[in-house]
Structure 1
Amino acid sequence: MLIDKSITGFLAELKSDSPAPGGGSAAALVGAIGAALGIMVGNLTLGSAKYETVHEQCKGVSLDFEERLASLEKYIDEDTEVFKQVMKAYKLPKNTDEEKQVRIKAIQEFLKAASTLPFTVARTCLDVLELSVKIISIGNVNAASDAAVAGRMAEAAMWSAIYNVRINLGSIKDADFVADMKSRVDDIVARSEVLMDQLVKTANEKI
């Protein structure tokens, strides 16, 4: 599994001529790093008596970060597996009309899955961004830069996942599915812009 590899091992897989792992798994990894950084800021806040008044609030934020981290760790491998299914579908036989229809149906089915998973990654990374805004506001000021990096990485990971959604939508024939997914992506982007404004404002005040 990719999640069990060393950093150098993962990078070696990523830079190879194999199409998977690719941008989707990388996006999940970057989001996971952002979540881990957020947890670190939480731990540094909980470890300081100076911030005792926000300890309970910080515990809740840290637990939410942990939940997103666990999901993103899982998505690193899931994205690669979904993409492999798409590639298998494209390799199905197409010698007869029946085979062609089976192949087309399989391709469309797995392209939808390959759009839905990175959308889930993007939505999870949006959550990490929102949590980063919370932790930079209440957390240990000495770790404010780490909280800001957590948010920046979450946004970068979110956009990376969105690009993977969009490229797959271009090959999907189900117009309703495509329209719905585009609308949901637009909602994520709009929310992220508000959160990034908050993150930057707070970071500029504290760093």
Structure 2
Amino acid sequence: MLMQMKLTDFLEELGSNSPAPGGGSIAALAGSLAGSLTAMVCRLTVGNSKYAEVQGEVAAILAEADSLRSVLARYVDADTEAFNEVMAAYKLPKTTEEEKAARTAAIQHAMQQAANLPLAVAECCLKVLALAGRVLAIGNANAASDAAVAGLMAHAGLHGALFNVKINLGSIKDGAFVTVTQTKIKEFVEQDSKLHTELLTVAGRVIG
């Protein structure tokens, strides 16, 4: 389990010549880190009388940030597992016509799973970005830079995940699946662009 490794060991494994873990797992990790930072800013705001008027909203943001952090942390390992499933499918026998058909079907199934996983990561990162931007605007001003970094990490995680979706789509033969996924990608990018711009605007106002 990647998330159970010491950080130094994880970095060593990441920098090895093994193709996994790779960019997909790191995108999920970036999102999880963003969720953690967002939660930290919330906890530095909740209970602070200076921010009494936003206690309820910040508490709700905290609960969602904690939930997203946990989900994204699980995706770190899940992305590597999805990649390994693709590799396993490619190694299936292909001597007979039946074996070839079974192998092709297994590859296509694994590729769709490998595309769906980072798409889910991207969606979670988008939610974290929205939370980080909101807590940056209303949360503890002393932790504003932390909220801004959380937003940037979520933004990076989203785009990193989408790169992994796109590269897998190139091998998927199901046209309907590809079209639906491409539509979701476009929606996520448009929403991210708006939220990212808002984050930078608020950061400029609050931090300078």
CA deviation after TM superposition for structure 1 residue 164, in Å? 0.3
Matched, 1:12 2:12: yes
Mapped partners of 2:145, 2:47: distance in 1:
18
Match of residue 100 from structure 1: 100
Match of residue 177 from structure 2: 177
Mapped partners of 1:115, 1:109: distance in 2:
10
AA matched with 2:110: F
Mapped partners of 2:154, 2:171: distance in 1:
27
Mapped partners of 1:134, 1:192: distance in 2:
14
CA displacement 1:147-193 (0-9 Å, x = unmatched): 00000000000000000000000000001100110000100000001
Q: If the length of structure 1 is used for normalisation, what is the TM-score?
A: 0.98
AA matched with 2:59: K
CA deviation after TM superposition for structure 1 residue 47, in Å? 4.0
CA deviation after TM superposition for structure 1 residue 37, in Å? 0.4
Match of residue 57 from structure 2: 57
- Give me the identity figure in percent: 46
Deviating above 4 A after TM superposition, structure 1's stretches of 4 or more consecutive aligned residues are none
Mapped partners of 1:30, 1:123: distance in 2:
13
Match of residue 35 from structure 1: 35
Aligned pairs for 1:128-167 within 5 A: 128-167=128-167
CA displacement 1:83-114 (0-9 Å, x = unmatched): 10000000111111111111000000000000
Q: How many residues align structurally?
A: 207
Aligned pairs for 1:114-133 within 5 A: 114-133=114-133
Matched, 1:69 2:69: yes
CA displacement 1:121-159 (0-9 Å, x = unmatched): 000000000101110011011111110000000000000
Mapped partners of 2:187, 2:64: distance in 1:
21
**Runs of 5+ in structure 2 lacking a partner?**
none
AA matched with 2:178: V
SS for the counterpart of 1:69 is helix
Q: CA RMSD of the aligned region, Å?
A: 0.7
Higher mean C-alpha deviation, range 46-55 or range 123-132: 46-55
**Runs of 5+ in structure 1 lacking a partner?**
none
Paired residues of 2:45 and 2:139 also in contact (CA < 8 A): yes
SS for the counterpart of 1:35 is helix
SS for the counterpart of 2:172 is coil
Match of residue 190 from structure 1: 190
AA matched with 2:97: D
CA displacement 1:48-76 (0-9 Å, x = unmatched): 22111111111000001011001001101
AA matched with 2:157: A
Q: If the length of structure 2 is used for normalisation, what is the TM-score?
A: 0.98
AA matched with 1:194: K
Mapped partners of 1:47, 1:33: distance in 2:
23
Mapped partners of 1:184, 1:73: distance in 2:
22
CA deviation after TM superposition for structure 1 residue 197, in Å? 1.2
Mapped partners of 2:124, 2:68: distance in 1:
6
Paired residues of 2:47 and 2:55 also in contact (CA < 8 A): no
AA matched with 1:36: S
